[in-house]
Amino acid sequence: MGFVRRKPHKQFVKIRDKMRFRDLIQEAAYLLVEAGVEGGRLEAELLAEHCFGLSRTELFLNAEKDISLPDYDRFNVLLKRRLRREPLHYITGVREFWSLDFTITPDTLIPRPETEFLLDHVLAILRESNFVPSDILDMCTGSGVIAIVLARELGVPVLGVDISLPALKTAAGNISKHGVRDSVTLCCSDLFSSLGDEARFDCIVANPPYVSLHAKCSLEPEVKDWEPAKALFAGPDGLDVINRICADSPRFLRSGGWVFLEIGADQQQRVEALFSGYVVGTKRVYQHVAVIPDLSGRPRVLQAQFIG
């Protein structure tokens, strides 16, 4: 098969006669690396798998097969997006999390291993203490991954709260996709503001915005230019939302209930001091306050138990 030659563009794989899948991926990997994308080869392969509907094995088996012109064009559309540093998971619309496939959109954060660690710790604490919550609040639910995993793992009702209606729409799709519509409900609210005064929970779990505005310039383009700012940034020190959760959670927790928060790696001392020192009148509100390091040794999860 011969292709009509076109004027080459630095953001595209160059067309040539009888281009094979292997050539396409090799040249795409080179362009991605040149654009500053880490793991360019892997990303090129993942783009190809998504574009052509092939598994990793099928992509390998088709390595010497010629690319059709329509396939070439479709792949270059996706490649151009990635070269502009649009995150891969927004291009594919899917992110694996907890061994499940979740729909991801630019209205939601892309789930990360840090949040899997948060869930690991929540489940470990609840099981080790034989504490079976009757209901859980997932604050800042985003795509709904925390709410869905907790509902599946614990079999208890979970309320997912987010200020973003588009994010909640994505979460609703994931709830249906993973068969937990009877367990997970959603609420549009600025943190606790739309919850009724009678609402009470045994556990509050959150991956809140916690990035400092001052840190924005140090983030990768995929994060600072593409992921939703409201879900990332929380004031000059990154603690605006965490401060509110600390202050408002006691009104919505039953006695002995837990708070678990994902936090920034540089926030341990301030967050520990915030929860340990939080008092109402002269009464300390939280006990068993601790920050748990993740598998890389970075401070990652704040835990605190409401004294009641």
Which of 63, 84, 105 finishes a domain?
Answer: 84
Q: Is residue 3 part of a domain?
A: no
Q: Is residue 5 part of a domain?
A: no
CATH number for the domain harbouring residue 175: 3.40.50.150
- Same domain as 189, residue 150: yes
DSSP 68: P
Full residue range of the structural domain in which residue 64 is found: 21-84
CA–CA separation, 234 vs 243, rounded Å?
10
Q: Checking phi first, is residue 256 left (phi over 0); if not, alpha (psi -120 to 50) or beta?
A: left
- Same domain as 236, residue 302: yes
- Same domain as 261, residue 195: yes
pTM, entire model: 0.92
CA–CA separation, 3 vs 17, rounded Å?
5
pLDDT at 120: 97
- Same domain as 251, residue 108: yes
- Same domain as 197, residue 56: no
CA–CA separation, 20 vs 96, rounded Å?
29
pLDDT at 5: 36
Which of 34, 54, 84 finishes a domain?
Answer: 84
For 101-119, write each residue's pLDDT tens digit: 999 999 999 999 999 999 9
Angle at 143 between CA 180 and CA 298, to 5 degrees: 110
CATH number for the domain harbouring residue 40: 1.10.8
Residue length of the chain = 308
- Same domain as 73, residue 218: no
Residue identified by tokens 């470990």 is 124
- Same domain as 196, residue 130: yes
- Same domain as 98, residue 69: no
User: Which residues of the chain fall below pLDDT 70?
Assistant: 1-17
Q: Is residue 12 part of a domain?
A: no
Which of 40, 58, 84 finishes a domain?
Answer: 84
- Same domain as 235, residue 145: yes
Q: Is residue 6 part of a domain?
A: no
pLDDT at 308: 79
How far, in Å, are 113, 120, 187, 282 from residue 116 at the CA level?
A: 5, 6, 23, 36
Residue identified by tokens 């520990």 is 272
Please name the helix (run of DSSP H) or strand (run of DSSP E) that holds residue 58, with its range, or none: helix 56-61
- Same domain as 167, residue 37: no
pLDDT at 282: 87
pLDDT at 2: 33
pLDDT at 62: 87
Contact 32, 222 (CB under 8 A): no
For 43-65, write each residue's pLDDT tens digit: 999 999 999 999 989 998 989 99
Q: Is residue 300 part of a domain?
A: yes
Q: Is residue 185 part of a domain?
A: yes
By CB atoms closer than 10 A (0-12, 13-18, 19+), residue 221 is middle
Q: Checking phi first, is residue 187 left (phi over 0); if not, alpha (psi -120 to 50) or beta?
A: beta
- Same domain as 99, residue 130: yes
Radius of gyration of the chain (CA): 23
- Same domain as 168, residue 75: no
Q: Is residue 208 part of a domain?
A: yes
Q: Is residue 10 part of a domain?
A: no
Number of domains in the chain: 2
| DSSP character string of 10-46 | TTSPPP-TT-BHHHHHHHHHHHHHHTT-TTHHHHHHH
